[in-house]
Structure 1
Amino acid sequence: MRLANWYFLLFIPLIIYIFIIKKNKTTLKFSSVKLLKSSGLKKTYKHKISKYMICLSLIILVVALSRPQLTSQPDTIQEKGIDIAMVLDVSGSMESVDFKPNRLEVAKKTIEDFVEERPSDRLALVIFAGTAYTRIPLTLDHNIVKQSLEEITTESVNDNGTAIGMAISVGLNRLKKSDSQSKVMILVTDGENNAGAIKPNTASDLAEELGIKIYTIGVGTDETIYPEVDIFGQTRYKRYEGGLDEELLKGIAEKTGGKYYRARDPQAMSKIFSDINELEKTKFDRDDFVQYKELAFDLIKVALILLLLGIFLDRYFYIQIP
Structure 2
Amino acid sequence: MLRFAHTYFLWALLLVPLFVVLFMLMRRWKKKALAAFGDRAVIGRIMPEVSFSRPTLKFIFFIVAYALLIIGLADPQIGTRTEEKKSKGADIMILLDVSNSMLAQDFPPNRLENAKRALSQLIDNLHDDRIGIIVFAGEAYVQLPMTTDYSAAKLFLNTINTNIVPVQGTAIGAAIDMGMKSYDFKDNTSKAMILMTDGENHEDDAVVAAESAHDKAVVIHVVGFGSPQGAPVPIYDNGKQIGFHTDSAGHTVISKLSEDMCKEIATAGHGIYIRATSANSGLGIVMDQIGKMQQKTYDSKQFKDFEDRFQFFLAIAMLLLVAEFFISNRKSLRLSRLKLFEVKKP
Paired residue for 2:263, among 242, 250, 257?
250
Percentage of pairs with the same residue: 33
Q: Tell me if structure 1 keeps the 8 A contact 2:233–2:254.
A: no
2-structure distance, mates of 1:175, 1:183: 8
**Offset of residue 160 of structure 1:** 1.1
After superposition, the Cα gap between the structure-2 partners of 1:274 and 1:228, relative to the gap in structure 1 and judged at 3 Å, is same
Give RMSD over aligned pairs: 3.1
Partner of 2:38 in structure 1? none
Partner of 2:234 in structure 1? 227
Paired residue for 1:117, among 100, 122, 125?
125
Partner of 2:165 in structure 1? 157
After superposition, the Cα gap between the structure-2 partners of 1:229 and 1:277, relative to the gap in structure 1 and judged at 3 Å, is same
Q: Which has the larger radius of gyration?
A: 1
TM-score calculated relative to the size of structure 2: 0.57
1-structure distance, mates of 2:306, 2:274: 48
| Aligned residue-pair number | 221
Q: Report the secondary structure of 1:108's partner residue.
A: helix
Q: Tell me if structure 2 keeps the 8 A contact 1:83–1:180.
A: no
Q: Tell me if structure 1 keeps the 8 A contact 2:98–2:165.
A: yes
**Offset of residue 191 of structure 1:** 3.4
2-structure distance, mates of 1:159, 1:214: 24
Alignment of 1:55-204 (within 5 A): 76-177=84-185, 179-196=187-204, 199-204=205-210
Which structure 1 segments of 5+ residues have no match? 1-71, 294-322
TM-score calculated relative to the size of structure 1: 0.61
Q: Report the secondary structure of 1:273's partner residue.
A: helix
Q: Tell me if structure 2 keeps the 8 A contact 1:86–1:125.
A: yes
Partner of 1:208 in structure 2? 214
The one-letter amino acid of 2:203's match is A
Deviation per residue, 1:152-194 (Å, 9 max, x gap): 1100001111001101111111125351431000001113221
**Offset of residue 75 of structure 1:** 5.2
The one-letter amino acid of 1:284's match is Y
Which structure 2 segments of 5+ residues have no match? 1-79, 246-251, 308-346
Q: Report the secondary structure of 1:155's partner residue.
A: coil
Partner of 1:269 in structure 2? 282
After superposition, the Cα gap between the structure-2 partners of 1:225 and 1:272, relative to the gap in structure 1 and judged at 3 Å, is farther
2-structure distance, mates of 1:156, 1:203: 23
The one-letter amino acid of 1:93's match is S
2-structure distance, mates of 1:108, 1:288: 26
Q: Report the secondary structure of 1:168's partner residue.
A: helix
**Offset of residue 245 of structure 1:** 3.1
Deviation per residue, 1:268-300 (Å, 9 max, x gap): 33332343344343211236667799xxxxxxx
